[in-house]
Amino acid sequence: MSPIRTIARRELKALFDQPIAYILLVVFTGVNALLFFREVEVYNVASLRPMLDFLPWLLLFLVPAVTMRALAEDARSGTLEVVLAQPITELELLFGKYCGQALFLLVALAITLTVPLGLALGTAPELGLVVAQYVGAALLVAGLAAVGVWASSVSQNQITAFIVGVFVMFLLIFVGLDQLLVGLPPRLGAIAGALGVLSHFSQIARGVIDLRDAVYFVTLAALFLVLAYFSLLARKLTARGEALKRLRLGTVLLAVAVVVVNLFGRNIGGRLDLTPGRAFTLAPATRQLLRTLPDLVTIKLFASSALPKEIESTRRDVDDLLRDYRTAGRGKVKLVIQDPSADSAARQEARTSGIPPVQFNVLGQGELQVKEGYLGVAVRYADAVKTIPFVQQTNDLEYRLTSDIRALTHPQRPTIAFGEITDAAAARGQRSFEALREQLGANYTVHPFALTDSSVAPEVKVIAVAGTPDSLNPAQLARLQAFLQRGGSLLVMASGMQLSDRGPFALSRRVGWNALLQPYGVSIASDMVYDLASNTQVGLPAQFGQVLVPYPFWLRALGTGRSPVNADLGAVMLPWASQIDTGKATASVTPLLATSRAAGAQQATAFIQPGSPLSRDSLRPRVVAALATLPPATSSAPPRGRVVAVGSADFASDRYARNSPTNIVFVQNAIDWLAQDDALIAIRSKDRAPPPLVFGSSVKRGAAKYGNLIGVPVLLIAAGIARLWRRRRTTRRVYRPLVTAGATA
């Protein structure tokens, strides 16, 4: 390995001794930061995905520019033959050159670590996710560097090597581009996607290091290094000799083997999930349920073999998840995969199970085509069946499958009550909870609830209520207190301000629930919280369409992660929320959702027009959701009920949950915890959405942006000038012998 290490060190040093290296680094880091922060300012999330989306296209030009001189320059100047005349083989020379070029590119990639460090001034991205994404980027660099070295080996002209490298890398990126694949027949599109770099890189960029994707990049590098080795050896072999024929045959066979491995490598197992909460790995609750199944459960996947490219990645995730279910079931989960498009019996079974064909719009050759396909799941236990007609996304697939299996194998379901308090918002028809009722009905028997009910059914374990009564009469208060005393639990979703019908303002109001919450030492304040840093954008009419502006009264409340209710939830959108006062807490109180440090509160009257000025005095974090528990009155008494209070009555309604699915997830988790049924919380809470990017001040935001956009390039320029100036002084130094001739005599 010594010759390879020596050559690699020489290559790396030679690159940094040229001004072009620093020019490339400055352009790469500057353009990367410019494109990244432009996207981040639009989406405002703490994620590196915008950078990773642009990275292949930046490497398309950076890699050929770095590698074009690797072998082409030596071949042009004649030093290649001189080097090979030394005790060094073509293989050692090739690996040394490749390692030197790849190390330079990895240094360029490492410089971009200042981007996540800049984000850490606000909301730091998840460390495991960043590690996985940079591992994927390093694999991409390793594969493309081999392409660049091969392009340099086939020509003695650097410009020609650059053009060839750009062309081949563009093909590798382009064949995996969605715009191309949607125009190809589905089978051909699947093959092209398997051979292109984008589909494999995007899988790792999500935070999962899959062995199949790692194998692709390793074999990609191996293939082009073999082609480069063939190019080096072919220089000294006879044009029509047997040795050249054998070399050519071996190269072709190896290339075919690499392609076959990537086309038929779907069954290669093994992956390292570094996402927050291991979102792509079965939760312990799922594994526990599958290990204790009373009898055989059959999962049937009805999937067309020819699906559009945009569905292929979903199909791959579904396959992986179902195979994990089969493995965790230890013989009690049977997995059957059928293609209804090619099998009439499977088509009939899919139709019987309630899985219809779905139409896809496919852009064909100059026209928009409509095709049918299947991607549905049926879970069968004994004579009962539950189905997912079409898997649109895999974010909640584990939760849906596990809850279906549990409902089939454990048919007894707890009972809860859900109700709404009629106020101005409900009267105007602006509040409906159909989506929430549907989700709760999958795991609970849901009864209606009203304050006017004469009693609470004994089987009810949890009461969930949305809305704000002005007061509770003595009978209502006594009834609910008795419910809590016998161990029942309560979820209150209420705000302390009411929107006015006469203009864009809200007025404070009394919160009748506070009398019931008093023993727990929590109350819902008669105010409205705003957050200048962590909020949601709304559209305002402009001359040409709409313009998005931050709306501080629609909070992106941050999860504290201090309870199973919100352990894996990043943020919940709360419109027009009130503060939860915990200053007089006598029970065990845990904040669930809180604002950023840039939050204030308006009392009495709040002017809620978007864009209106807000006070920056008394800004601090404010709790907007909390849970509380009371110990039993005596050691022999039953435990008293749990309480969760949220300072917004509307956040789980259809109007807001449609654009923020985590709102309903939060309510479901809260009800599971209140019912002391924690089994599904960890599964449902797998939130793959990145957390909101919140900077404590504009100074930190500017430091993160301009430090990467200007600071890093300036430092690179300074480092380049210092190194080149030092090298120039060294090369101009006059040679002076260590020992004079007279002294020698």
Confirm if 61 and 740 have CB atoms less than 8 A apart.
no
The fold adopted by the segment(s) 284-408 is Glutaredoxin (3.40.30)
For residue 365, the model assigns a pLDDT of: 46
Amino acid of residue 360? F
For residue 557, the model assigns a pLDDT of: 93
The structural architecture, per CATH, of the domain 415-676 is: 3-Layer(aba) Sandwich (3.40)
**Residue 102 CA, distance from chain mean position:** 28
Q: Which tens digits make up the pLDDT trace of 624-636?
A: 999 998 876 655 5
Q: Say how far apart CA 732 and CA 305 lie, in whole Å.
A: 68
Helix then strand count (H, E) for the chain reads 28, 25
* Planar angle of CA 604, 606, 607, nearest 5 degrees: 145
Residues near 606 by beta carbon (within 8 Å), at least 6 away in sequence: 497, 505, 506, 527, 528, 553
For residue 593, the model assigns a pLDDT of: 95
Task: Decide if 284-408 and 415-676 have a common fold.
Answer: no
400, 405, 410, 415 alpha-carbon torsion, rounded to 10°: 10
- Joined tokens for residue 574: 């709360």
* Planar angle of CA 389, 395, 397, nearest 5 degrees: 40
**Residue 247 CA, distance from chain mean position:** 45
Q: Say how far apart CA 71 and CA 309 lie, in whole Å.
A: 38
Amino acid of residue 491? L
For residue 690, the model assigns a pLDDT of: 74
For residue 186, the model assigns a pLDDT of: 57
Confirm if 135 and 189 have CB atoms less than 8 A apart.
no
Terminal CA-CA length for the chain:
44
- The secondary element (H helix, E strand) that includes residue 745 is none
> By C-alpha distance, which of 156, 166, 182 is closest to 77?
156
> By C-alpha distance, which of 166, 164, 142 is closest to 151?
164
Q: Say how far apart CA 203 and CA 213 lie, in whole Å.
A: 8
- Joined tokens for residue 75: 């071949």
Answer positive or negative: Cα dihedral of 560, 564, 570, 571.
negative
For residue 745, the model assigns a pLDDT of: 45
What does the buried/exposed string (b/e) look like for 462-495 if buried means 16 or more CB atoms within 10 Å of the residue's CB?
Answer: bbbbbbbbeebeeebeebbeebbeeebbbbbbbb
Q: Say how far apart CA 437 and CA 429 lie, in whole Å.
A: 17
Amino acid of residue 61? F
For residue 430, the model assigns a pLDDT of: 62
Beta bridge partners of 581: 523
Q: Which SS3 state, helix, strand or coil, does residue 547 take?
A: strand
What does the buried/exposed string (b/e) look like for 705-727 if buried means 16 or more CB atoms within 10 Å of the residue's CB?
Answer: bebbbeebbeebeeebeeebeee
For residue 600, the model assigns a pLDDT of: 94
284, 285, 288, 294 alpha-carbon torsion, rounded to 10°: -160
* Domain residue ranges in the chain: 2-273, 284-408, 415-676
Walking along the chain (745 residues) 10 residues at a time, the average pLDDT comes out as 84 89 93 90 80 91 92 78 72 89 94 92 85 92 94 89 93 73 59 76 82 87 88 70 71 76 65 77 87 91 77 80 87 89 87 83 53 86 88 82 88 89 60 89 90 89 93 92 91 92 87 91 94 87 75 92 81 94 81 93 90 88 92 63 93 89 91 82 68 80 90 92 84 67 50
Q: Say how far apart CA 390 and CA 356 lie, in whole Å.
A: 8
* Planar angle of CA 189, 137, 7, nearest 5 degrees: 115
Residues near 115 by beta carbon (within 8 Å), at least 6 away in sequence: 32, 33, 36, 48, 51, 708
Q: Say how far apart CA 580 and CA 492 lie, in whole Å.
A: 11
For residue 646, the model assigns a pLDDT of: 97
Count other Cβ atoms within 10 Å, centred on residue 522.
26
Q: Say how far apart CA 125 and CA 732 lie, in whole Å.
A: 48
For residue 273, the model assigns a pLDDT of: 79
* Planar angle of CA 514, 654, 591, nearest 5 degrees: 40
Residue linked to tokens 């200048």: 532
